Amino acid sequence: MKFFVDTADVGDIRELAATGLLDGVTTNPSLIAKSGRDFIEVISEICEIVPGPVSAEVAAMEADAMIVEGRKLAAIADNVAVKLPLTMDGLKACRTISEDGTSVNVTLCFSPAQALLAAKAGADYISPFVGRLDDIGQNGMHLIDDIRTIYDNYPDLGGTQILVASIRSPAHVVEAAKLGADVCTIPPSVIKQLVQHPLTDKGLDGFMKDWAKTGQSI
């Protein structure tokens, strides 16, 4: 499974990239607003830090305007993935931008039918938002399971990768991995939680105390 980080904070991206665990980055208009940075400038900087795909989202609502914006974003760097919303206009733009040879991430997916359409439109990635489904009392992971089943039934759909988004906890990442999702895009705080276990800390503390008693060094 690939790990993307879901942020436009360059400091966090640099820190996580240094771990060697990062395969890509996703941003959205809310994350860009939170960064307080110029959109084009920050995407360009992120693309230099992380060689993997960096999702940059269009702001237009109509297909032709999405295509214009998507091509501008694609020109920033070879590793930009243009992010398009799951609307009929977004799907039309997805077809054209994919045919340009640019990677497309179709975002705001909340149903298996939407995911099927994105694959038919040639998307490289489909982003189902599991946390936002959980927030309204549904089960986001059921959506991942359904999409996995559908995509596996039709290998000739084109290999759209399931990019699990709106992740809130390490449990989401583990469940996504068990279901065979291709990618998780994870907030920095949750990536840091993934490594933590109290028994690891306790065990390490015991080992270090006993090691000190030996008086040795390596």
Residues catalogued as catalytic: 83
Question: What is the spatial distance between Cα 218 and Cα 209, in angstroms, rounded to a whole number?
Answer: 15
Closest to ligand E4P by CB, 52 vs 131, is: 131
Nearer to ligand E4P among residue 45 and residue 57 (C-beta):
57
| Residue 6 is a binding residue for ligand E4P (CB under 6 A) | yes
Verify binding: residue 39, ligand E4P, rule CB under 6 A.
no
Query: Of residues 16, 22, 24, 28, which one binds ligand E4P by CB under 6 A?
Result: 28
Q: For the chain, how far is it from start to end, CA to CA, in angstroms?
A: 35
Q: Is 129 a binder of ligand E4P (CB under 6 A)?
A: yes
> CA 130, CA 142: separation in Å to the nearest integer?
9
Alpha helices in the chain (DSSP H): 10-17, 29-35, 39-49, 63-74, 88-99, 112-120, 130-135, 140-153, 170-178, 188-194, 198-214
d(CA 131, CA 32): 20
Tell me if 114 contacts ligand E4P by CB under 6 A: no
Does 2 interact with ligand E4P (rule: CB under 6 A)? no
Q: Does residue 9 touch ligand E4P according to CB under 6 A?
A: no
132 binding ligand E4P? (CB under 6 A): yes
Q: Which stretch binds ligand E4P (CB under 6 A): 32-40, 84-92, 126-134, 153-161?
A: 126-134
Residues 133-192 that bind ligand E4P (CB under 6 A): 165-166, 185
71-82: string of b/e by CB count within 10 Å (b at 16+)?
A: bebbebbebbbb
Residues 84-113, mask of contacts with ligand E4P (x by CB under 6 A): -----------------------x------
The type of residue at 192 is: K
User: Given CA atoms 138, 180, 23, 125 in this order, what sign does their dihedral have?
Assistant: negative
Binding site for ligand E4P (CB under 6 A): 6, 26, 28, 107, 127, 129, 131-132, 165-166, 185
